[in-house]
């Protein structure tokens, strides 16, 4: 029997520490209610069942054994639509609570301070995944399964919570990285229950050597990868997390359209113009001769996952042949109705109008239209010639060749300026 099956059987068959009394059960029943019903009940006082719960300045108070326990209902938070749909249904919460807890702890949207995923046992259940985080100098708990947010000390006391394992944001990054590389879901439970032991064991393999190291080859602390590392913005995402509710269908149609050669409706600036619904655009594949290797890439799924590198390559190719103003942009585009993921694209000024060139989507579109459909947000904007200088100075002259294209697109000029400033300071000291 797989270790996953053994652990799952163990988890599902261990009984809770002790049964909950009626008041605690009523508290959990209250967090199960839709928001309208909760508001009606707390202001009407007609239901004796919830007389121990009342609202106060944006949260609730639970009165229990002569003590007041402030709490919030998680579904009242500004979460993405998919999470709100799950939180409205008790059975859906139970089914998805583990993965949504992991995802929520890593979310760049709610951006929790010092989040930890804690696995423990309680009077609620034997295997309870929760999030602890810092809020105004107070430790709090998010219990996704119970749709509950409460002070950590209060939660631990009320539900007799006992910790089994505790993972900070970097541990979660390592856990996600391992699962992505190995593609073995059965490792999830052992990694959650014994994270330190499992990660130490895995660090003996070459691909996971970094798990046992503090700094990478450039001297950067690996913990910084949770801020701006590979896929740190979409850890533990599910397919439904990539659902931009307003423009999702249009984006999908454009994406599918640009994977193959199509018949244009007109020509603009020497480029064929296409149309999906009422949205007009051109394809980057038309910038190249048909035999160019870039065309084959742009018409395949190989164009995905490398937007930062591809944007640099595209900008360098175009800047060598065009005199137009050309920028490499490091920014964000929406992944759903609330969240974003890091992305890079090229911006080009042609005939007095700005266009976005997005290699990942084989797309050349007017900048205003692109920003609207993809809800694009700029973080860094670097002229192609400046980017070339930054790469030369940082990667080759200074020898930091393991820096990733993403890091250059977002911080290239800063790296270059810092190195030049330090070199000047060192030169003055030497004199």
pLDDT at 47 over 80: no
Question: Which of 10 and 25 is assigned the larger pLDDT?
Answer: 25
Give the mean model confidence (pLDDT) for residues 396-401.
72
pLDDT at 231 over 80: no
Question: Which of 219 and 259 is assigned the larger pLDDT?
Answer: 259
The per-residue pLDDT for 430 is 44
Give the mean model confidence (pLDDT) for residues 131-147.
97
The per-residue pLDDT for 11 is 54
pLDDT bracket for residue 191 (50, 70, 90) = very high
pLDDT bracket for residue 404 (50, 70, 90) = confident
The per-residue pLDDT for 109 is 87
pLDDT bracket for residue 270 (50, 70, 90) = confident
Give CA–CA dist 411/398, Å, rounded.
Answer: 15
Q: Which residues of 201-226 are buried (b: 16+ CB within 10 A; e: fewer)?
A: ebbeeeebeebeeeeeeeebebeebb
Q: Please name which of 142, 135, 143 lies closest in space to residue 114, comparing C-alpha atoms.
A: 135
Percent of the chain surpassing pLDDT 70? 88
The per-residue pLDDT for 1 is 35
pLDDT bracket for residue 389 (50, 70, 90) = confident
The per-residue pLDDT for 3 is 45
Percent of the chain surpassing pLDDT 90? 50
pLDDT at 230 over 70: no
Burial of 322 (0-12, 13-18, 19+ CB in 10 A): middle
The per-residue pLDDT for 266 is 92
Question: Which of 245 and 266 is assigned the larger pLDDT?
Answer: 266
pLDDT at 15 over 80: no
Question: Which of 418 and 220 is assigned the larger pLDDT?
Answer: 418
pLDDT digits (tens, 9 = 90+) for 162-184: 999 999 999 999 999 899 888 88
Whether residue 342 contacts residue 406, with contact meaning beta carbons closer than 8 Å, is answered with yes
Give CA–CA dist 210/169, Å, rounded.
Answer: 16
Question: Which of 244 and 201 is assigned the larger pLDDT?
Answer: 201
Highest mean pLDDT among 93-97, 235-239, 392-396: 93-97
Quick one: tokens of 205?
């393999």
The per-residue pLDDT for 4 is 45
The per-residue pLDDT for 271 is 87
The residues near 304 (Cβ < 8 Å, ≥ 6 apart) are 360
- pTM of the entire predicted model: 0.83
pLDDT bracket for residue 49 (50, 70, 90) = low
Give the mean model confidence (pLDDT) for residues 51-76.
90
Mean predicted lDDT score pLDDT of the chain: 86
pLDDT at 2 over 50: no
Give the mean model confidence (pLDDT) for residues 8-28.
71
Q: In what order do the strands lie in the sheet with 279-281?
A: 266-268, 271-276, 279-281
pLDDT bracket for residue 426 (50, 70, 90) = very low
Q: Domain extents for the chain?
A: 242-385, 386-430
The per-residue pLDDT for 269 is 78
Backbone conformation region of residue 271, classed left if phi is above 0, alpha if psi is from -120 to 50, else beta: beta
Question: Which of 44 and 122 is assigned the larger pLDDT?
Answer: 122
């Amino acid at each position: 029997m797989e270790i996953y099956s053994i652990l799952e059987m163990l988890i599902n068959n261990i009984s809770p520490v002790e049964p909950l009394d009626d008041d605690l059960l009523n508290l959990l029943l209250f967090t199960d209610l839709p928001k309208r019903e909760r508001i009606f009940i707390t202001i009407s006082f007609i239901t004796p069942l919830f007389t121990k719960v009342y609202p106060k300045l944006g949260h609730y108070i639970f009165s229990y054994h002569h003590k007041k326990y402030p709490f919030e209902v998680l579904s009242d938070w500004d979460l993405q639509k998919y999470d709100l749909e799950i939180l409205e249904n008790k059975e859906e919460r139970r089914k998805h609570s583990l993965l949504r807890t992991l995802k929520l702890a890593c979310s760049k949207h709610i951006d929790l301070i010092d989040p930890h995923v804690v696995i423990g046992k309680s009077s609620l259940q034997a295997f309870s995944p929760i999030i602890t985080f810092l809020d105004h100098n107070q430790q709090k708990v998010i219990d996704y399964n119970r749709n509950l947010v409460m002070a950590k000390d209060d939660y631990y006391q009320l539900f007799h919570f006992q910790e089994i394992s505790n993972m900070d944001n970097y541990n979660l990054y390592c856990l996600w990285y391992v699962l992505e590389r190995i593609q073995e879901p059965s490792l999830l439970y052992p990694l959650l229950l014994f994270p330190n032991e499992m990660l130490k064991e895995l660090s003996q393999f070459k691909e996971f050597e970094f798990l046992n190291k503090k700094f990478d080859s450039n001297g950067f602390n690996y913990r910084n990868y949770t801020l701006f590392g590979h896929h740190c913005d979409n850890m533990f995402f599910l397919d439904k997390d990539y659902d931009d509710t307003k423009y999702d269908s249009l984006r999908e149609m454009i994406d599918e359209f640009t994977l193959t050669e199509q018949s244009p409706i007109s020509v603009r600036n020497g480029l064929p113009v296409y149309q999906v619904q009422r949205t007009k655009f051109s394809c980057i594949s038309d910038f190249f001769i048909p035999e160019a290797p870039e065309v084959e890439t742009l018409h395949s799924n190989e164009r995905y996952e490398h937007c930062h590198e591809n944007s640099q390559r595209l900008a360098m190719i175009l800047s060598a042949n065009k005199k137009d103003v050309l920028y490499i942009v490091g920014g964000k585009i929406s992944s759903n109705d609330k969240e974003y993921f890091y992305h890079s694209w090229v911006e080009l000024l042609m005939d007095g109008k700005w266009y976005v060139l997005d290699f990942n989507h084989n797309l050349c579109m007017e900048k205003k239209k692109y920003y609207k459909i993809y809800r694009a947000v700029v973080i860094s904007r670097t002229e192609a010639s400046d980017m070339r200088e930054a790469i030369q100075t940082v990667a080759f002259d200074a020898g930091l060749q393991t820096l990733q294209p993403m890091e250059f697109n977002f911080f290239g000029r800063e790296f270059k300026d810092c190195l030049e400033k330090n070199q000047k300071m060192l030169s003055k000291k030497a004199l």
